[in-house]
Homo-oligomer: A and B are copies of this chain.
Amino acid sequence: MNCRGGRGAMTGSLSSIVTFAPEIIATATLVVDSRGRSFTEITDEATRFVAESGAKDGALFMFMRHTSASLVVQENADPNVRSDLAIALDRLAPADAPWVHDVEGPDDMPAHVKTMLTGVSLHVPVIAGTLALGTWQGIYIAEHRARPHRREVVLQFIGSRR
Contact = CB atoms under 8 A, between A and B. Distances in A.
A137 B28 CA distance: 19
A86 interface: yes
- Which secondary structure dominates chain A's binding surface? mixed
State the oligomeric state as a number of copies.
3
A53 B134 contact: no
B74 A116 contact: yes
Nearest to A143: B2
B48 A14 contact: yes
Interface string A122-142: 111101000011111100100
A117 B89 CA distance: 9
Nearest to A52: B17
Contacts of A79: 3
A95 interface: no
